[in-house]
Structure 1
Amino acid sequence: MEQATYFPPTVKRAIELIGLFFIGYIFYVGNSIIMPILMAFFLSIMLLPIFRFLRKKKFPEPLAIIIPILIFLVFIALLLWFFTAQIQILIDDFPQIKQNLNVHLNSLSKWINGFTDYSTKEQIELIKDQSNKLLNNTGSILSGIAGSVSGVLIFFGLLPIYIYLLLFYKNLLLKFVIMWFDKAQIPKVEDGLNDMEDIIKSYLLGLLIQITYITVLLGGTLWIIGIKHALLIGVLFALLNLIPYVGALIGNIMGVLLTISSTQETWPIFTVLIVIAVVQFLDNNILMPRIVGSKVKINSMSAIVGILIGGTLAGVSGMFLALPIIAVLKIIFDRAEGFEKWGVLLGDERPDKNPILIKSVAKKTEKGKSG
């Protein structure tokens, strides 16, 4: 009988860290291939209830897969139509936007004159100088944008294909996963897969609900107040808010910029910021925790670090998928022997007392008893 090889704890930790490094490197190098598959995986799980419902109604399997994909594509098409219509409105309003921006720039120039030595003429020269630099780099900027657009089109073009294949071959993939484990471990694996499905579905469905109520609350409130481009601000903030922590900041900036470009007054700017702050407070503290917070138990530190790493490795898609990926990893770590410590690191179960002090007290108690 072969004897199991023993590795000291330090060697095990080193192997784990090297493994994590190589996984990160693979993501960085192959993110254009990996990210569409990961996105398709998460979306296919969200579409799984529709697929199962259609199969129960005796729909042929290919049709039961195609219908949920078509629903998803219609949703994406509606979003694209909305943004195209809003951009056309902005283009039509460009002369007025330019005039509004000049008014705000003049006000800013007078304010700067109050506490600096820069004259209005010097400020204008500075702005012109920066504008010329920007125009000189227009070619590279446009080529970068073209590359990004083509990348996005390829990304979304591959998604329906990947979703179809993942749903069609889901039983084969499950068999592949189960074959890696002993029969005694299969119940634990099934439990983990069920938890994974529940968390991903609740998280993504929660995000869909979040987009809806933020758009209604923010866009509706600003529209009632009389802010121009209210619905566009609402939808933009709702979509950017899908990127945790970072997206909300960008959404605030976009809301302010759209408001500045649409009016010569200052009160709408402060109104937009106040309304965004109120909606964000309701979202973070009342609505979203009730929808998805009880399912995805990840601490804030792990979430922020994961989002930054996801953004570095795979851009915006990596930032968006960071939380569900971390949630899936936590499920795996919690159930994999020897990896429980990583699950503790990602989770939000904070000990009430210092674990080091608890161990010290326990050792002293043992010594007292032995003495």
Structure 2
Amino acid sequence: MKYKIDNNYFKYSFYAFLAVAMSILFYLALNNLGYFLKSFSVALGITSKILSPFIIGGSIAYLISPGVIWFEKKVYSKVKLINSRAKLHRLISVLTMYIILLSCIALLIIFVAPQVGNNLRDIIMRVPDYFTTTDQLLSKWTMELENFTQMEISPHIDAKMTSIFLKITEILEDILDNLVFSIVTFTSGVLNFVLGLILSFYMLMDRESFKKSFEKLLRVFLKDTSVERVKSFAREVNDLFVKFIVGKSLDSFIIACICFVGLNLIGIRYALLLSVIVGVTNMIPYFGPFIGAVPATIITFFDSPLSALWLMIFILALQQFDGLILGPKILGDSVGVSPFWIIFSIVVGGKLFGVLGMFLGVPVIGMVRLVVNRAIDRALERKKARLEKEETAVP
């Protein structure tokens, strides 16, 4: 008598074994997640240091490419002397954007950076006075609280404030000790930026050749229909990133200028420095205004508590203007993601990659939304085609 193998039993046993094995592997992966993330971050840091000129060059080329395309198609293509030479269009457009970029950097270095530096130096020199003022205020409030509650809390507050002041002193000493290292790092950053500018020039000049090479590589591994879908998806992602980055940069620049004018009218000290802080942090949706308002209010509070109150009211009104009027006019619905997912992307991006992750989290979640919507649309199309085929097959 032959033994008959039950195929269903064998199949279910295999599935059970696979489920248990995957559960064990998942548990081991979670247990060693810290090690993997640390190794990945170290490898990523080394790679980014080696490729930093290329990363900077690619970023510069990507950011100024919309301007290059606009000058090339809207301006120089209509000039009769050069309208028959496409390469000359590209060269003059790239050089025009470089002149604009370098002029903006020069204006920042000449007019903005010295004043911001003077404001920072003045704040650092006033730090001991800030400590004294804070200590006096706390002593006054402590005495009033003790008289009201009849409790001895001043020793605890004095001990806490002493530890805080010692910690701040240690931080300032570390900054001074690492000054040489900071100068070397800054010099290396400047050299990488200059090399990145040179690389970005060639990237912009050979933009079409890069696109064609990438398309050929895709056609080696994918079907023609899949390649067209990838190209369409890449165009949508590019439009999303360009609209968000350019629009948010313009929006933050306008907010910084309005903030500078308003703070000067109110009579706030360090108006330029505080406007730069507000403008830079405004690049982060939702949380940016609050992040920028906190240091601005603290700095102003030591100078004048009443001025700090006016500063908070002004920044609150300015952010309402940005959120309700200016932002929608410039950005519109450039990302098309609900506020919940925007906040989710900012929190997760900030935890993983810091400030850069908070800024880029929004367009990244927009890209994920595009991927999910495309997948859902294709699944619905396949389901519709299957149902139509089944209906036609029924006699």
**Structure 2 length-normalised TM:** 0.66
In the alignment, the residues of structure 2 paired with residue 118 and residue 276 of structure 1 have an alpha-carbon distance, to the nearest angstrom, of 35
* 8 A contact 1:36–1:159 mirrored in 2: yes
The residue type equivalent to 1:87 in the other structure is: G
Equivalent residue number for residue 50 of structure 1: 71
Which of 64, 79, 82 is matched with 2:108 structurally? 79
SS of residue paired to 2:211: helix
2:171 pairs with one of 130, 134, 151: 134
With 44-53 and 27-36 compared, the bigger mean Cα shift is at: 27-36
Alignment of 1:1-371 (within 5 A): 25=40, 28-29=44-45, 30-32=47-49, 33=51, 35-36=55-56, 39-47=59-67, 48-53=69-74, 55-56=76-77, 57=79, 58=82, 59-81=88-110, 82-91=112-121, 98-99=128-129, 102-115=132-145, 117-119=153-155, 122=159, 125-134=162-171, 137-138=174-175, 141-142=178-179, 145-146=182-183, 149-150=186-187, 152-154=189-191, 156-179=193-216, 180-181=218-219, 182-185=223-226, 187-261=228-302, 263=303, 265-311=304-350, 314-332=353-371, 334-335=373-374
| SS of alignment partner, residue 336 of structure 2 | coil
Could you tell me how far 1:109 is from its partner in structure 2? 3.2
Provide the C-alpha distance between the structure 2 equivalents of 1:121 and 1:78, rounded to a whole number of angstroms: 47
1:298 alignment partner, SS class: coil
Residue identity over aligned pairs, in percent, reads 20
The one-character-per-residue Cα deviations of 1:259-303 (angstroms, maximum 9, x if unpaired) are: 135x2x311111111111111122223321332141211334443
For 2:293 and 2:95, how far apart are their aligned partners in 1? 38
Please give the TM-score of this superposition, normalised by the length of structure 1: 0.70
**Unmatched segments (≥5 aa) in structure 2:** 1-14, 30-35, 83-87, 146-151, 380-395
Amino acid across the alignment from 1:322: G
| Bigger proportion of residues as helix | 2
Amino acid at match of 1:172: S
Assess if the C-alpha contact under 8 Å between 1:245 and 1:304 holds in 2.
Answer: yes
Q: Give the number of equivalent residue pairs.
A: 323
**Matches of 1:217 and 1:329 in 2, distance apart?**
34
**1 CA distance for matches of 2:185 and 2:281?**
17
Greater relative contact order (Cα < 8 A, sep 6+): 1
Distance 2:187 2:195 in 1: 12
Answer whether contact 2:297 2:308 (CA < 8 A) is retained. yes
Deviations 1:302-330 (A, max 9, x none): 43444455445554444433333443454
What CA distance in whole angstroms lies between the structure 2 residues aligned with 1:330 and 1:43?
A: 23
- Larger-Rg structure: 2
The 10-residue stretch of structure 1 (190-199 or 218-227) with the greater mean CA deviation from structure 2: 190-199
Deviation at 1:332, TM superposition (A): 4.9
* CA 1:175–1:333: 2 relative to 1, 3 Å: farther
SS in 2 for 1:255: helix
**Structure 1: tracts of 5 or more residues without a match:** 1-7, 342-371
Q: Which moved more, 1:57-66 or 1:271-280?
A: 57-66
Is contact 1:216–1:234 with CA below 8 Å preserved after alignment? yes
Q: Is the 8 A contact 1:45 1:200 kept in 2?
A: no
Q: Counterpart of 2:136 in structure 1: which amino acid?
A: N
Alpha carbons of structure 1 residues 124 and 171: separation in structure 2 relative to 1, 3 Å: closer
Amino acid across the alignment from 2:299 = L
Deviation at 1:127? Answer: 4.7
Question: Which residue pairs with 1:5 in the alignment?
Answer: none
RMSD: 4.0
Cα deviation code 1:114-168 (max 9, x no counterpart) = 4461248656644553345435644665466446635643553344234323312
